[in-house]
């Protein structure tokens, strides 16, 4: 199982080549406040001085430190200067350059930090990758994070505390990460910022290991026995105490090896019962063991994650397509595929079906039978017609003669007015279908034919051709729908079978009115029995013209107040209908007309509700479906347009390369995990 850590290092190398962190690999993150001894702990694990030192925030970028154990016989490397060493380091950003001088490694860390983070003590979340090869280390992957701080110093950003905290949480939130919480022994463990942050993401402490530093700097008369025994702050993975080199030791060039020997002597003297469970060497072995077990537990999920990502990137790479070789064939293929997908979206057989909303043919069906149908049903057959309007139409249809029967012409005039109201919702139905046909273009571009995203000019040209085709068909379809309503208005078919009952009602009513009129006619009055005339030869009674003219103003037929001749008739005045109680005959006539209008209107509405969708399908939807392929080929399949239409977007080649590199990295990672299974390490 010892070989599991090199496997993870190999996986890390694979993903470093593409600069991606999409896979959260098992690692150990070192968390602690400034001056808590984090750097000293890491250097003790490495056995060499390699980390920058100073006041304030020194670690300003995450340092991913991979320790690789090599056999002593193989541990000989030459750097660029020809110097040979049994320990050496390599940075990812310097490619294959080998460093045998650890002072140069420290200087490179400082230079690379300043290059990205600047000189103002700011921080960056872009990591530095360093790999150390040595026969004196155990296999580990450690991440050194900036120390937790509270107050900005010098020209540090005002929100430096928030920046560092967010950076730490980003790394330790990884469920595959072991948290190494470093706390100084000469501080109160109950106030440990490292343990506090660790508990936010690991409340159960299942992946947190506490390290207590500076055991030799505790106040006289005190010790860390209770802390190391876990009586103060219990940590499931344990607490390990270490003794670091002091700044004086570092200034005097005290080696790490000498410091580890002094540490062992201190623990034997001060904590003899706990000496074998504390110290740098025990910490290294513990971390190695924890990381191996953690890797073993994470590998199944890691394998699944890699396989899922490989499938996703394979699909992504396929959508980007291969570089174009045969332009004519590629253009024809893309045009045909778009036309097919457009038609399939209308028919409901498209590969990508919307689940969030109706689309394509389903929405057109909804427009026909729900939107348009309900709108027509909501139109009141008698809407906009008052009883006075109907009565006025009847009177106007009789001309100067009083009518004995309800004139049919009044029914025809009124029903045409009502049928005309069906034209507006019918044209709106055409508009809605046209808008949906336009939306299908975008749907096909986004979901069905992702290859079009490679060629933005071709995509724009296809959209323009289809839009133009729809635009040409719109007035033709509108004209047909207008004609459907005009056809209904052209001839009022009172012999329609469904209208027979209503006609029968009208005929019976007319016959009844005729009989009633005949009964109501007065007997003829002999001429010699006529009333005598007045002194002027006419009697100014209500039955004479003079009497009628005299009372004309009250009837609405006389002159207005401004008339120059008082009592005379102004023939230009038009009587204004006023609300009044209708006679029984007028009431009966209006009811008959209303009944006939309603009956005939329902017949026409049924016809329109059936014929308008058919017209829209024939003149717009089906015509576009049938002619789309030929229209696109005729407009775009031209030799002079090939180079322009098949010009890829600027970033497509780069995206294709990135996807190919990532897919290759994932495939290598999958092979590495397969090797683990074959060697029974898993």
* Residue 323 CA neighbour count, 13 Å, CB half: 5
Considering the chain, what is the average pLDDT of its residues? Answer: 79
Band of residue 78 on the pLDDT scale cut at 50, 70, 90: low
Which helix (H) or strand (E) segment is 208 a member of?
Answer: strand 208-213
Q: Alpha-carbon distance 209 to 291, whole Å? A: 11
In this structure, what token pair is assigned to residue 464? Answer: 């323009």
H runs (alpha helix) in 399-455 = 408-419, 423-443
Band of residue 590 on the pLDDT scale cut at 50, 70, 90: confident
Instruction: Work out whether the CA dihedral 480, 483, 485, 487 comes out positive or negative.
Output: negative
Q: Alpha-carbon distance 669 to 682, whole Å? A: 15
Placement of tokens 């623990």 in the chain: 267
Q: Alpha-carbon distance 413 to 379, whole Å? A: 18
Answer whether 347's CB lies under 8 Å from 648's CB: no
Give pLDDT, residue 518. 66
Give pLDDT, residue 120. 66
Average pLDDT (55-78) is 75
Tens digits of per-residue pLDDT, 357-371?
788 888 999 999 999
Average pLDDT (468-478) is 94
CA 383 from chain centre, in angstroms, equals: 44
SS3 at position 66: strand
The lowest-confidence range among 89-98, 295-304, 365-374, 531-540 is 531-540
What letters, b where the CB count within 10 A reaches 16 and e where it falls short, cover 11-37?
A: bbbbbbebeeeebbbbbbbbbbbbebb
Of residues 647 and 2, the one with the higher pLDDT is 647
Of residues 73 and 591, the one with the higher pLDDT is 591
Residue 93 has pLDDT above 80, yes or no: yes
Answer whether 438's CB lies under 8 Å from 470's CB: yes
CA 211 from chain centre, in angstroms, equals: 45
Q: Alpha-carbon distance 407 to 590, whole Å? A: 11
Please return the burial class of 195, using the count of CB atoms within 10 Å of its CB with bins 0-12, 13-18 and 19+: buried
Residue 210 has pLDDT above 80, yes or no: yes
Q: In 3D, which of 366, 362, 369, 335 has the Cα closest to residue 346? A: 362
Query: In DSSP terms, which residues pair with 85 in a beta bridge?
Result: 77
Q: Do β-strands 140-144 and 177-184 pair in parallel, antiparallel, or remain unpaired?
A: unpaired
What letters, b where the CB count within 10 A reaches 16 and e where it falls short, cover 127-157?
A: bbbbbbbbebbbbbbbbbbbbbbeebeeebe
Instruction: Work out whether the CA dihedral 591, 593, 596, 599 comes out positive or negative.
Output: negative
Give pLDDT, residue 511. 63
Residue 273 is classified by DSSP as T
Q: Alpha-carbon distance 47 to 43, whole Å? A: 6
In this structure, what token pair is assigned to residue 194? Answer: 């490292």
In this structure, what token pair is assigned to residue 559? Answer: 């002159």
What letters, b where the CB count within 10 A reaches 16 and e where it falls short, cover 331-344?
A: beebbeebbbbbbb
Band of residue 380 on the pLDDT scale cut at 50, 70, 90: confident
Of residues 470 and 536, the one with the higher pLDDT is 470
- What contacts 484, CB < 8 A, 6 or more positions away? 426, 608, 611, 612, 615
Residues above pLDDT 90, as percent of the chain: 17
Of residues 8 and 546, the one with the higher pLDDT is 8
Placement of tokens 């996703």 in the chain: 312
* Residue 559 CA neighbour count, 13 Å, CB half: 12
- What contacts 322, CB < 8 A, 6 or more positions away? none
Count other Cβ atoms within 10 Å, centred on residue 514: 12
Tens digits of per-residue pLDDT, 605-615?
999 999 999 99
Q: Using N-to-C axis directions, what is the helix angle for 4-16 and 652-678, rounded to 10°?
A: 170
Please return the burial class of 565, using the count of CB atoms within 10 Å of its CB with bins 0-12, 13-18 and 19+: exposed
Answer whether 210's CB lies under 8 Å from 238's CB: yes
Please return the burial class of 523, using the count of CB atoms within 10 Å of its CB with bins 0-12, 13-18 and 19+: exposed
- Dihedral pair phi/psi, residue 676, rounded to 5°: -60, -45
Of residues 500 and 271, the one with the higher pLDDT is 271
Please return the burial class of 392, using the count of CB atoms within 10 Å of its CB with bins 0-12, 13-18 and 19+: middle
Band of residue 73 on the pLDDT scale cut at 50, 70, 90: low
Give pLDDT, residue 147. 86
Residue 529 is classified by DSSP as G
Of residues 577 and 596, the one with the higher pLDDT is 596
Answer whether 608's CB lies under 8 Å from 484's CB: yes
Angle, CA 278 vertex, CA 277 and CA 281 arms, to 5°: 100
Query: In DSSP terms, which residues pair with 209 in a beta bridge?
Result: 180
Residue 173 has pLDDT above 60, yes or no: yes
Give pLDDT, residue 404. 63
SS3 at position 541: coil
Tens digits of per-residue pLDDT, 224-245?
888 888 888 888 888 999 998 8
* Residue 383 CA neighbour count, 13 Å, CB half: 13
Q: Alpha-carbon distance 209 to 215, whole Å? A: 17
Give pLDDT, residue 80. 60
Answer whether 462's CB lies under 8 Å from 632's CB: yes
Q: In 3D, which of 621, 144, 653 has the Cα closest to residue 365? A: 621
Residue 402 is classified by DSSP as P
The lowest-confidence range among 14-28, 91-105, 615-629 is 14-28
Band of residue 427 on the pLDDT scale cut at 50, 70, 90: very high
Q: In 3D, which of 29, 33, 40, 31 has the Cα closest to residue 148? A: 33
Residue 485 has pLDDT above 50, yes or no: yes
């Amino acid at each position: 199982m010892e070989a599991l850590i090199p496997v993870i290092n190999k996986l890390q190398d694979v993903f470093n080549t593409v600069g991606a962190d999409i896979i959260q690999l098992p690692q150990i993150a070192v968390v602690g406040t400034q001056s808590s001894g984090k750097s000293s702990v890491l250097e003790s694990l490495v056995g060499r001085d390699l980390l920058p030192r100073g006041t304030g925030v020194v670690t300003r970028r995450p340092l991913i430190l991979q320790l690789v154990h090599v056999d002593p016989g193989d541990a000989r490397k030459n750097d660029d200067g020809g110097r040979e060493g049994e320990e050496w380091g390599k940075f990812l950003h310097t490619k294959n350059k080998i460093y045998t001088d650890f002072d140069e490694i420290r200087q490179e860390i400082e230079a690379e930090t300043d290059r990205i983070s600047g000189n103002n003590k700011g921080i960056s979340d872009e990591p530095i990758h360093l790999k150390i090869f040595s026969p004196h280390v155990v296999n580990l992957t450690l991440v050194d994070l900036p120390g937790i701080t509270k107050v900005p110093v010098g020209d540090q950003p005002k929100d430096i505390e928030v920046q560092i905290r967010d950076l730490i949480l980003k790394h330790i939130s990884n469920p595959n990460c072991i948290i190494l919480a470093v706390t100084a022994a000469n501080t109160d463990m109950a106030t440990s910022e490292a343990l506090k942050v660790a508990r936010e993401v690991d409340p159960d402490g299942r992946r947190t290991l506490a390290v207590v530093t500076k055991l030799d700097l505790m106040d006289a008369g005190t010790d860390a026995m209770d802390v190391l025994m876990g009586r103060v702050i219990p940590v499931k993975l344990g607490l390990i105490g270490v003794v670091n080199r002091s700044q004086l030791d570092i200034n005097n060039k005290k080696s790490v090896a000498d410091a580890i020997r002094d540490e062992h002597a201190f623990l034997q003297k001060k904590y003899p019962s706990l000496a074998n469970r504390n110290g740098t060497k025990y910490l290294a072995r513990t971390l190695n063991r924890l990381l191996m077990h953690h890797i073993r537990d994470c590998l199944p999920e890691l394998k699944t994650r890699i396989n899922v990502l490989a499938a996703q990137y394979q699909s992504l790479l396929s959508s980007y397509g291969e570089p174009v070789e045969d332009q004519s064939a590629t253009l024809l293929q893309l045009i045909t595929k778009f036309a097919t997908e457009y038609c399939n979206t209308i028919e409901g057989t498209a590969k990508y079906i919307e689940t969030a909303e109706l689309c394509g043919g389903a929405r057109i069906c909804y427009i026909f039978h729900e939107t348009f149908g309900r709108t027509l049903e909501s139109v009141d057959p008698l809407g906009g017609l008052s009883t006075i309007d109907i009565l006025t139409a009847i009177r106007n249809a009789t001309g100067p003669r009083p009518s004995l029967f309800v004139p049919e012409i009044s029914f025809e005039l009124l029903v045409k007015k009502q049928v005309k109201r069906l034209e507006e919702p019918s044209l709106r139905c055409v508009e809605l279908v046209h808008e949906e046909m336009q939306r299908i273009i975008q749907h096909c571009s986004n979901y069905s034919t992702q290859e079009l995203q490679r060629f933005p000019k071709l995509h724009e040209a296809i959209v323009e051709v289809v839009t133009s085709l729809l635009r040409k068909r719109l007035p033709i379809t509108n004209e047909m729908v207008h004609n459907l309503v005009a056809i209904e208005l052209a001839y009022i078919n009172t012999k329609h079978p469904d209208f027979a009952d209503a006609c029968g009602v009208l005929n019976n009513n007319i016959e009844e009115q005729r009989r009633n009129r005949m009964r109501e006619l007065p007997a003829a009055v002999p001429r010699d029995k006529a009333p005598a005339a007045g002194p002027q030869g006419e009697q100014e009674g209500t039955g004479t013209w003079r009497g009628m003219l005299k009372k004309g103003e009250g009837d609405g037929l006389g002159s207005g107040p401004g008339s120059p001749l008082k009592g005379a008739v102004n023939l230009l005045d038009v009587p204004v209908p006023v609300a009044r109680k209708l006679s029984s005959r007028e009431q009966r006539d209006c009811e008959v007309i209303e009944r006939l209008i309603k009956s005939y209107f329902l017949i026409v509405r049924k016809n329109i509700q059936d014929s308008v969708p058919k017209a829209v399908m024939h003149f717009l939807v089906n015509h576009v479906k049938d002619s789309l392929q030929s229209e696109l080929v005729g407009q775009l399949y031209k030799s002079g347009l090939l180079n322009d239409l098949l010009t890829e977007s600027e970033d497509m080649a780069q995206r294709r390369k990135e996807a190919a590199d990532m897919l290759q990295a994932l495939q290598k990672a999958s092979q590495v995990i397969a090797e683990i299974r074959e060697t029974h390490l898993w």
